[in-house]
Amino acid sequence: MLLVHAPPWTPLLKTLLHHNHNHHFSRPFFFSLSNFTKPFSIATRFFSHSRRSSILPMNGQGLPASGSSPEHFTGDWYSVPELRLRKHRFTVPLDHSRGPHSSPKITVFAREVVAEHIIEAKVIMFLSRKRGETYSGFQLRNWMVQPLGFILTGKPWVVGKEEQKLPYLLYLQGGPGFECRQPTESSGWVQKRGTGLSTPLTVSSMSQFESADELADFLEHFRADNIVNDAEFIRVRLVPDAGPWTILGQSYGGFCAVTYLSFAPQGLKQALITGGIPPIGGGCPADSVYKACFEQAIHQNEKYYKRFPQDIKIVQEIVNYLAEKEGGGVALPSGGFLTPRGLQTLGLSGLGSSSGFESMHYLFERAWDPTLVPAAPKRISYNFLSSFEKWLAFDTNPLYALMHESIYCQGSASKWSANSIRTEVEDKFDAIRAAKEGLPVYFTGEMIFPWMFDEIHALKPFKDAAHILAEKKDWPPLYDVQVLNNNKVPVAAAVYYEDLYVNFKLAMETASQIAGIRLWITNEFMHSGLRDDGSKRKLRAIVVTNIMMMALGSGIYVAHTAAFRSELQPMAPDHIGSSTSSRQRDLVFIVNPLGANGRTGKEWRKLVPYLRSRLDKDCNICESITSGPCHAIDITREAIREGADAVIAVGGDGTLHEVVNGFFWAGKPVVSQVKEFTRSTALGLIPLGTGSDFARTFGWKNDPHEAIERVARGLRSSIDVGVITGEGCDHHYFINVADINLSAKAGFYASRYKRFGNLCYIIGALQAFIGHQNQDLRIRFNDGPWETCPQVTALCVGNAKYFGGGMKITPNADPFSRNLEVVILQNFKWYDFVLKLHRLYSGTHLSVKNVSDRSVHSIEVEDISGKGGIYIQSDGEHLGFLPKKISILPAAIQMIL
């Protein structure tokens, strides 16, 4: 949600203009909460204490763009390269809850932009309303504003035609508290609330307040509720006949868009969201947010060090250096203090954007001063210390730190949520301990901690105000779930599967509450997908075009050039509740009554009444009880041939494994062999088994009611499947993990002790160790040359992350990645497993000696000795012995998420 994620102005503008041109939009207008380029600028206010429970309805007539009134001043047109611009200022109430004519007033600054050469279209600029800035957005007196958008026209631009009446597209920029660049040319952008020209809330301007209480009272108004109030104030005065407009919300702008849908849907024609579906639970869901954020941060750290393993030692050296200094750190150029925990905050932007890994790596390249004099003491370079401060940018944008946790609060205090959750995962984020033990030092993600107001010089004056805001309980509502449940506005959203800032699972939970929303789920982008440039420029065009076409009901745009993977098809759900389809869905539930030593059958019988009460209205439900091994395979194939909308496995990984194999027959997908194929059958899961390891990859609990809600939502996306082949053997498919030698043997024995629950995996491992020998194997990756891998204890191939009752054996595996992760353990003794078992469960074993991993499309494995007897299994099912080839089938099955 940082400035680094704001999209470049021109490429995004071209995309929108092109789309609007083709769809006969006359004048989309992007409205941004900071600096705007259109006569619209909206601000997320952070001003007087207004406690709203709803957005005030706005009545009034739109003013011509060229007109002026006491509430709206319009400047003259002027030019910069490739653009025509003019300024607008709106006088709006500081506190909308007191009515549209209340005092005091603030001024919102907006810049209107007409693009001269972009597909002969006209663009009217971004609005900005970030109170506290005066740049390219509304001029908000003592406000912080963020870019809201710009206006695009679909008609040829001609000098003198700037006054054409055209529709508006309001762009809601991310944040809170970071500005965009000035539009000095077509590559410019607008600034966010409280920055630039929109009455910036800077270190110096906020020092005008005499007390922390006054500052906190001022800041409490700079949230999504006030942003929407400002937008509505301006819309009814700017848009002809006070008509509705389209909004596009990126990141925190998406949060604002959902607030808009909650309290002022009458002002919207369509809502488009990229990486910005917020958690909408009552109170303060920040704890859930940060728990998910820490988990994703761990994953991103693992990926970072896998790409730059040389940085493990560099970061460890820096941490040790800082910890050994007097006071536990070193002085920063501005007067702040860099400590090990402060160093970890580099992950705030380094772990979450497409180029963040590279930027962070290059930063560490210049961490140390060169040794110019023999025996001179080692020192961290000034360049590194200066770059560290610029990286965080709190000296110019303190608002982000002050208001960050409050964006989640409704009637409850955040109480420094990120800091509280960190204490629960401190074993993974203790930088000093990790460095001393030779472990990778993990960086934190999008989190603000109270100690930052002691160590960062620019934030020190606002420490007391920050604590007041953290303890504030009476935050007004930001969302109305009932209104969202009955939403009538067309909504489309891009959801990024590995988003560090807006958690995928939480976003999906909210999406289930917004009636009619259409989703594009993708792992092709990070949170910065709307901004990515260079080789991903065409991909950005897909992001924008897909969500706009989905909102229009035109389906999904799929790139057909070689630059894009054909399997990268965003999966808008076929059905989302009863609001999007009049046809009932046909669902087949396949139940293994003997799963988990009979517990699955018992739990299923208890669950059926609730399942029918929840799904009967919208679905035809078929229960199929398996009678023995492989029966689920046959049931699944028959269901697909009969055109079922979804087949849901009820049980553990074994039942899921059989259902997955039922999607295929004779080496091909069953659906490809159906002559009159009319719809795609999705795979679902209600985890009620012993291990339920596949569900762990998605963070799903063994909660059947939660699983039924996923089925009810019907949101789906394509996932990868692994396939195992061998001479004279049928194709065998797996969705989780395949493994060879010791772990496969342990799984074979564990299957005999399922009555002991997850303990069966420990028993199986102990039995497998009896008489075990490490094996020399011949391996070939991606059909390349054969190579010898000596003394292999276990070789695991992961499409997902977990096996063996919770061991995170392939921590970098991702069922959306179109790759398999191979982890090889060599020359392990029984005591190595005992001593390192906790590393296997936590997924931190990749840095252990004699452990290696790599990402592959395929792997072939042979027994060098030729004696045979080396076990192989997948998803807990014994598949015989080597030799075998394991390959990936990208996007092979649609999965209900």
Q: Token digits for 133?
A: 């800035």
Give the list of residues 6+ apart from residue 602 with CB closer than 8 angstroms, or none: none
The CA distance from 44 to 65, in Å, is 23
Instruction: Identify the CA nearest to 334 among candidates 259, 390, 251, 407.
Output: 390
The CA distance from 545 to 557, in Å, is 7
Asked if 44 and 52 count as a contact pair (C-beta separation under 8 A), the reply is no
> 762: left (phi > 0), else alpha (psi -120 to 50), else beta?
alpha
Q: Token digits for 295?
A: 């988990």
| Catalytic entry in 311, 480, 618, 653 | 653
653 is catalytic: yes
The SS3 of residue 858 is strand
The CA distance from 1 to 527, in Å, is 8
Question: How far lies 586's CA from each of 8, 591, 615, 646, 705, in Å?
Answer: 45, 16, 11, 7, 19
CA 434 distance to own-chain centroid:
27
Residue type at position 674: V
Instruction: Identify the CA nearest to 711 among candidates 864, 588, 531.
Output: 588
Q: What share of the chain is helix, strand, coil (3-state, %, to 5)?
A: 35, 25, 40
Q: Token digits for 63?
A: 């003013």
The CA distance from 313 to 803, in Å, is 30
Asked if 459 and 453 count as a contact pair (C-beta separation under 8 A), the reply is yes
Asked if 196 and 134 count as a contact pair (C-beta separation under 8 A), the reply is yes
Q: b vs e for 739-772, b when ≥16 Cβ sit within 10 Å of the residue's Cβ?
A: bbbbbbbbbbbbbebbeeeeebbbebbebbeeeb
Catalytic residues: 653
